[in-house]
Amino acid sequence: MTEPLQAVPRTLLEAVERAAALWPDRVAWRFDPGSELTFAEVDRLTARYAAALHVRGVRPGSRVAVLLRNQVEFPLTWLGLVRLGAAIVPVNARYQATDTAHVLAVSGADLVVTSPEFFSLLQTAGASNVVAVSDLSAHDGPAAPAYTPSADTTVNIQMTSGTTGRPKGCVLSHTYWMTLGGGMLSEFPHLNRHDVMLTAQPFSYIDPQWNLVAALLAGAELVVLDGFHPSTFWAKVREHEVTYFYCLAAMPTLLLRMPMDPADRRHRVRAVQCSAIPVHLHAELENRWGVAWYEAFGMTETGADLRVTPSDHDELVGSGCVGAPTSCREARIEPDTGELLLRGTGMMDGYLDDPAATAAAFEDSWFHTGDLARTDDAGRVYLVGRLKDMIRRSGENIAAREVEDVLLTHPAVRLAAVVGVPDEVRGEEVKAYVVADGVEGTELAAYCAEHLAAFKVPRIFSFHQDLPRTPSERVEKAKLAALPGAVEVVV
């Protein structure tokens, strides 16, 4: 049901305090496995975390890295930082030492909040100021000095991969979060206090975070799973009486591969939003679970940009359409390149300490997405490809150059080029074209695994005597697929 909307708070701090005042005894978060908290408890505990962080030197403008799994301490730390005017730097728990060291260096994090399982990793990554999150939760000292953030105060340094190959920090403000979260109430799916939302992605990603913000604004309950497990996912949806969830990448395909269950349609879900719904599986998804699946498009840099709504859902099932712009967004196609450009309020403030990358991304306030697209007569957008040299595997963005740089440090590798190839389950798989002597694909995969997160490691290796190159000695990736005589290894 759609309820009358109250004014959206200007900041996340206002959102926390407003939720505690309106719905103090309602369950705000339910971690499975883990604990549950009411909105009043979220308000009280985030104040405790703020006090503990203040004692450890966190001040307005500080940047604090958080390396935790899906546990209640993650968002408590995040909102504790909000109370101090400090910014969180979420760190992917799947990262190895090389990735982690880069994030810490690029972000300029003053402190790392983590759990004992990551102490050794952080030591290898060179982190010097590390605190166990249990020390924050156990704090019993005086409250931190009151701080009132403005709408443009930085809340996150959210890492994302760019075309240069290494992750860059997206600077996200309160306006970003209030625009994204507020739009989930004022527009479809019109979240409200009767909803139970569910997220299954790592909290270091943007999606669980906007789920949390939208739930705070709506007074909805948010269920947080420890990860995405296809065999038990719908059982959890039924157990928690979930009414809404968002998913992406390989998730719908993996769910469909699970055995049919007589209980498949016994649930309370009223809407599923999903990015990159497999076109040929869209109708099957809806038929099996008896609920509409709505395409949506967004980016870390821009928030929530395009979405299909109930008004045009039926005609667009299986079309690949990602919808029309939200009320805060404009979209257009660059006529010379076919690239999708976006403009509007509530986008990132830029890439951290990287004015050149920021200027390249924004042109006359239009953000270059790197996606090739077309529009129909109604202004709805259809993605047709990508300009950026990126691979999207199971929802993870992987910069080809980052993988290439690691391969080229192996003593046997003379030349390497990495591309994405279609994969039925993962969307894309990582394939490496390699010129090397006396080395097997399994050895190269193991070598990459020592330096990269597991999702970045190539699964396909194609060995050649040479690779096509331009006059400037860059590999011509467009010609790689046509190379003859490959010795190909799948690991």
pLDDT for 41 beyond 90: yes
Query: To the nearest whole number, what is the mean pLDDT of the chain?
Result: 93
Rounded CA gap, 336 and 338, in Å?
6
Amino acid, res. 218 = A
CA distance readout (Å), 77 to 56, 72, 214, 292, 452: 13, 9, 18, 35, 27
Number of H helices, E strands in the chain: 15, 26
The pLDDT assigned to 167 comes to 78
Angle between helix 206-218 and 174-186 (nearest 10): 60
CATH assignment of 390-490?
A: 3.30.300.30
Domain coordinates in residue numbering, the chain: 390-490
CA-nearest of 464, 428, 462 to 444 is 462
Single out the residue of 14, 10, 13, 110 nearest to residue 61, CA to CA. Answer: 110
As a whole-number percent, the residues of the chain with pLDDT over 70 amount to 96
Strands, DSSP E only, in 329-389? Answer: 329-333, 339-344, 362-363, 366-375, 381-386
Two tokens, residue 298: 């967004």
For 168-191, how does the pLDDT look when each residue is reduced to its tens digit (9 = 90+)? 999 999 999 999 999 999 999 999
Q: Spell out the residues 6+ positions from residue 137 whose beta carbon is closer than 8 angstroms to its own.
A: 45, 48, 49, 52, 73, 76
User: Within a 10 A sphere around the Cβ of 60, how many other Cβ atoms?
Assistant: 13
Q: What share of the chain is helix, strand, coil (3-state, %, to 5)?
A: 30, 30, 40
Q: What pTM was estimated for this model as a whole? A: 0.85
In this predicted structure, the answer to whether residue 5 has a pLDDT above a threshold of 60 is: no
Distance CA 237, CA 291 (A): 13
Torsion, Cα of 194, 198, 203, 208 (10° steps)? -60
- Which H/E stretch holds residue 238? helix 233-239
End-to-end CA distance of the chain: 49
User: Helix, strand or coil for residue 85?
Assistant: coil
Least-confidence region, from 44-48, 276-280, 353-357? 276-280
Is residue 309 scored above 50 in pLDDT? yes
From residue 489, give the alpha-carbon distance in Å to each of 24, 69, 444, 454: 57, 33, 11, 18
pLDDT score recorded for residue 473? 63
- The stretch 297-304 carries a mean pLDDT of 96
Give the DSSP per-residue string, 4-48. PPPPPPSSHHHHHHHHHHH-TTSEEEEEESS-EEEHHHHHHHHHH
Short-list 199, 175, 297, CA closest to 251:
199
